Structure 1
Amino acid sequence: MSEKKREIIEIEEVSSKPAEALVVGGLVRFTTIDFPGSLAAVAFIQGCPWRCVYCQNKELQSRRPDAETDQVSWAYIERFLSRRKGLIDGFVFSGGEPCVDPALADAVKRVKALGYKVGLHTGGMYPARLAEILPYLDWVGLDIKAPLSEEETYDRVVGRKGSAQKVRKSLSLLLASGVALETRTTAHPDYLSEAQIVKLVKELKEAGVRTFALQIYRQPRELPEEEVLERVGAHYPNPQALDELKALYPEFILRRP
């Protein structure tokens, strides 16, 4: 990548637009699982620079909404939140990748001004924009795709080069900020071995991460349950690897399909 192209990308990371320009591809009006400890709603921001091999929200990858997305305006979201005071505690920006949107910062600030806690789901590929909104966040779920020391593996999973470096920077920002953080990894045996999972978790432990969740890849819902287990592996990761993970994190979280 040329220096000129790299400079343009960095400028785009910190450029800003009003919340009215936010491209929302869907809204979950109530959830108990997307913001730990809070009753919340979730906005799914349209667009993602990565093409993860196991992406469950491919309709949100493009910045241009298509027929499969439930487009929602910012005006609707503000009206919705004004009516939900006392019924929900927080609001989560998810995706796609929410930090891709230059209107995110203003939207985050305006949700905070309404009195809600703010959560973020991110892959960490836009550290500059993350740094801009960190003072307004109450919780972050950071997706770690592979060992951060294995750049080729990371690039293979996300379909883009140079990804791990950005995620390392985002992780450092989050740890320094003191914002409540959950790191989590979606794992499939074709892309991450048990040894790589343990290596990844050791890296996070050494960095100072306190909460880690392992999410076993979930096949599309239309597949029969027995085929899901056959493809992913009912015993992946193996008991030895699980024991190592639990030793590293006493409150280790395992999420199976």
Structure 2
Amino acid sequence: MPSPPDACEAAAGRRRDAASLRVGGMTALTTIDFPGRLAAVVFCQGCPWRCGYCHNPGLLDARAPSSIAWADVLAFLQARQGLLDGVVFSGGEPTLQGALAGAIADVQARGFEVALHTAGMYPDRLPAILPQLDWIGLDLKAPLHRYDAITRVPGSGERAWESLRHWVASDVAGECRTTWHAGMFDIAELHALAESIAALGVKHWALQECRGSGASASLGRDDISRLAARFSSFTLRKA
């Protein structure tokens, strides 16, 4: 059954929008960013938050032009059909850009699965994107009362937790992940965070323990066991 004309026009519009996606870089192959898939990573330019431990500070400026044209990304993917399983949209913050939905559609039209890495800062946009996804990694940075100190943006915690609720209510596979060291919030607060997200319905939590400056305490075996017991799947990563 053919699609209604308005649906076709909407799809065409999204494809045109995709051409304006600002790409700050790309990784040709990853085996870790999209579990169970061989994937490429497209790093989207721009992020409004200013977390002190950001791993991609070069991607923060939303005004910076693309370093790679979207047409060149598509040409690369065309040449990798049958070799790669999927594409990860990371950042920066991919949901910052209105062109994301069209870019996802472009990728899916070429037979690739799609993953999204997001900090959940745009909960009004995430529900429309979730049905397009095969997997999501949602960064939850802290308990609600600690958020603004980490992101340096007022109200950031409410938006991230709302996005988490949107994802949990969907059927999209993925993980919630948190980077932690005791300089940001203490172990008792970490346990409280685990209890809160488990109560929301999070099944897979990935905890990255950062042992950088200010990390005056680290997780012991008992802490790890107690944290892991709340989830059907728990991953501990050391930074």
Q: TM-score, normalised by structure 2?
A: 0.89
The residue number in structure 2 matching 1:217 is: 210
What secondary structure sits across from 2:49 in the alignment?
A: coil
Q: Structure 2, unaligned stretches of length 5 or more?
A: 1-13
Matches within 5 A, 1:8-157: 18-65=17-64, 71-147=67-143, 150-151=144-145, 153-157=146-150
1: CA distance between counterparts of 2:226 and 2:157? 24
The answer on 1:183 being equivalent to 2:176 is yes
Q: Is the 8 A contact 1:246 1:252 kept in 2?
A: yes
SS of the residue 1:41 aligns to? strand
Pair 1:207-2:189 in alignment: no
In structure 2, the partner of 1:246 is 228
Residue deviations 1:167-193 (CA, integer Å, cap 9, x gap)? 122112111210002000011211021
Distance in 2, matches of 1:137 and 1:85, equals 19
d(CA) in 1 for partners of 2:141, 2:182: 13
Counterpart residue type for residue 251 of structure 1: S
Give me the TM-score of the superposition, normalised by structure 1: 0.83
Question: 1:159-217 CA distances to partner (integer Å, 9 max, x unpaired)?
Answer: 11111211122112111210002000011211021111111111111111100010122
Q: Runs of 4 or more off by more than 3 Å in structure 1?
A: 230-233
The alpha-carbon deviation at position 250 of structure 1 amounts to 5.1
How far does the alpha carbon of each residue in 1:37-56 deviate from its partner, in whole angstroms, 9 at most, with x for none?
11000011111111112111
Question: How many residues are matched?
Answer: 225
Cα offsets for 1:15-40 (capped at 9, x unmatched): x7711111111100000000011100
2:185 counterpart letter in structure 1: L
- Aligned residue identity for 1:195: A
TM-superposed CA distance for 1:239, in Å, is: 3.0
Say which is worse superposed, 118-127 or 173-182, in terms of deviation. 173-182
Tell whether the 8 Å contact from 2:42 to 2:89 is kept in structure 1 after alignment: yes
Look up the SS of the partner of 1:112 in the other structure. helix
**Any gaps of 5 or more consecutive residues in structure 1?**
1-15, 219-227
In structure 2, distance between residues paired with 1:127 and 1:110: 23
- The one-letter amino acid of 2:88's match is V
Find the partner of 2:215 among 200, 209, 232: 232
